[in-house]
C-alpha cells in the first residue's frame, strides 16, 4: 500500500481497543466534524485513521490543519481513489485494533459513548462479525431512509435489536479477526453492495450481523461529491449485485429475472444504458474472480447461508412477485459517494 503521512502521529503508542476509519474526498467541513466526533468518543481507547482519496490541495491542507499534531489521529493521503471497498481495506490496514468502526465522512456519532457501545457488543459475543448501527438524519434524528439497507417491513423495528443480512456503510463496527479471515472487501466492487458481499462471507463463517437500533450514527446526507445517476452509479449498483450472486455460485440464467427487473427500473428512471452494460460487466468480473487462498469455503450459497438469509431477510420481503415488483416500481436506490 502506498500512502503519504500528512498529519497527526504515525500511529498509537500503545494498543487500542478500536480503530475509527474515515475516508475523505473533499466535503471538508463534514469530514472535520466527523473527525472531531470520533476523537471525542469516551469509554474506549481508540485511534482515528483518516485516509484521503483525492481531496483538492486546499481541502487537504484544511484537513491537515484540523488534525494537526493530534496524538489519537492520523491523516494519510492514498496514492489513488480506491472507492469505498478499496479505501476501507487500506484504511483498515493502517491499524491493528480488534474493533474497526467505519464512519462516513458526512456522519457523526450520536452519543459520546457510541463507539464504546459498539465495541462492547463485539467483545461480549464472539458470534457477531459486524454491528450495524441505526442511521439517523442529523438534522431531524429521524431514520435516514436513504441509508435503510434492510427490508421495508423491518422499518417499524428500527429502534430494536435483531440479526440482519447486511450492514450499512454510514456507520458500523467490524471484528478485525473476522475481517482478516474473510479477506476484507472486494476491491473490484469500488462502491455499492460491498457490505453485503462481506456479510455473506461472515455468515458462511458462522457469524451474525447484529443490527442495534440503540447504537446510532447521525448522517448529514450531504450531496457534495456524490456519484450522479448520469455517470456510473446505476451501472455499479446492477453490476455489483449480479457479480456478488455469481461469485457465490448462482448461475447467470437464474439471475435473468432480476436483471430484467433492473432494466425496467432503469428505463423508468432514464438510465437504461447503464443497466444494460452492467450485465456483461458482471459476467466478466465473475469469470475473472478467484477467491483468495484459504477463503474458498466462504463462497457459495451454502445451506447455512440460505437459512440465515431466509430467517433475517427474505421472510420480511414477501414472495418472488412482490420482490420483483419492488425492483421494477421502486425508485432508484440512494447510493453514496464512491470516494468516502
Helix, coil or strand: residue 208: strand
Residue 230, Cβ density class (10 Å: 0-12 exposed, 13-18 middle, ≥19 buried) = exposed
Top-level class of domain 3-219: alpha beta
The count of residues in the chain is 340
Could you give phi then psi for residue 204, rounded to 5 degrees?
-65, -20
CA distances from 99 to 17, 190, 325 (A): 6, 23, 39
CA distance 114 to 320: 38
Q: pTM for the whole thing? A: 0.92
**Longest Cα separation, the chain:** 57
CA distance 70 to 292: 37
- pLDDT tens string for the chain (340 positions)? 789 999 999 999 999 999 999 999 999 999 999 999 999 999 999 999 999 999 999 999 999 999 999 999 999 999 999 999 999 999 999 999 999 999 999 999 999 999 999 999 999 999 999 999 999 999 999 999 989 999 999 999 999 999 999 999 999 999 999 999 999 999 999 999 999 999 999 999 999 999 999 999 999 975 444 445 556 889 999 999 999 999 999 999 999 999 999 999 999 989 999 999 999 999 999 999 999 899 999 999 999 999 999 999 999 987 655 555 555 555 556 544 333 3
Select from 153, 197, 183 the least CA-distant residue to 293. 183
Could you give phi then psi for residue 223, rounded to 5 degrees?
-85, -10
Domain limits of the chain?
Answer: 3-219, 233-329
pLDDT of residue 225: 41
Amino acid at each position: 500500500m502506498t500512502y503519504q503521512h500528512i498529519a497527526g502521529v504515525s500511529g498509537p503508542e500503545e494498543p487500542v481497543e478500536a480503530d475509527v476509519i474515515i475516508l475523505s474526498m473533499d466535503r471538508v467541513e463534514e469530514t472535520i466534524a466527523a473527525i472531531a466526533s470520533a476523537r471525542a468518543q469516551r469509554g474506549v481507547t481508540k485511534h482515528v485513521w483518516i485516509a484521503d482519496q483525492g481531496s483538492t490541495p486546499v481541502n487537504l491542507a484544511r484537513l491537515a490543519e484540523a488534525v494537526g499534531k493530534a496524538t489519537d489521529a492520523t491523516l494519510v493521503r492514498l496514492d489513488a481513489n480506491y472507492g469505498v471497498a478499496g479505501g476501507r481495506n487500506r484504511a483498515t490496514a493502517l491499524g491493528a485494533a480488534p474493533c474497526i468502526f467505519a464512519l462516513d465522512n458526512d456522519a457523526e456519532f450520536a452519543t459520546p459513548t457510541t463507539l464504546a457501545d459498539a465495541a462492547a457488543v463485539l467483545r461480549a459475543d464472539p458470534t457477531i462479525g459486524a454491528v450495524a448501527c441505526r442511521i439517523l438524519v442529523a438534522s431531524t434524528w429521524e431514520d435516514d431512509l436513504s441509508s435503510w439497507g434492510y427490508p421495508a417491513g423491518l422499518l417499524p423495528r428500527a429502534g430494536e435489536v435483531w440479526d440482519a443480512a447486511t450492514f450499512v456503510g454510514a456507520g458500523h463496527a467490524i471484528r478485525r479477526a473476522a475481517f482478516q479471515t474473510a479477506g476484507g472487501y472486494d476491491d473490484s466492487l469500488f462502491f455499492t453492495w460491498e457490505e453485503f458481499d462481506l456479510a455473506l462471507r461472515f455468515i458462511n463463517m458462522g457469524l451474525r450481523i447484529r443490527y442495534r437500533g440503540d447504537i446510532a450514527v447521525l448522517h448529514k446526507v450531504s450531496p457534495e461529491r456524490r456519484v450522479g445517476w448520469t455517470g456510473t452509479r446505476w451501472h455499479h449498483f446492477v453490476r455489483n449485485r449480479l457479480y456478488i450472486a455469481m461469485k457465490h455460485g448462482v448461475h447467470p440464467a437464474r439471475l435473468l429475472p432480476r436483471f430484467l427487473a433492473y432494466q425496467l427500473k432503469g428505463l423508468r428512471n432514464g438510465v437504461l444504458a447503464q443497466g444494460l452494460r452492467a450485465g456483461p460487466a458482471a459476467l466478466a468480473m465473475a469469470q475473472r474472480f478467484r477467491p483468495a487462498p484459504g477463503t474458498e469455503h466462504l463462497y457459495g450459497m451454502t445451506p447455512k447461508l440460505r437459512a440465515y438469509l431466509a430467517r433475517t431477510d427474505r421472510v420480511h420481503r414477501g414472495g418472488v412477485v412482490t420482490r420483483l415488483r419492488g425492483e421494477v416500481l421502486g425508485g432508484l436506490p440512494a447510493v453514496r459517494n464512491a470516494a468516502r
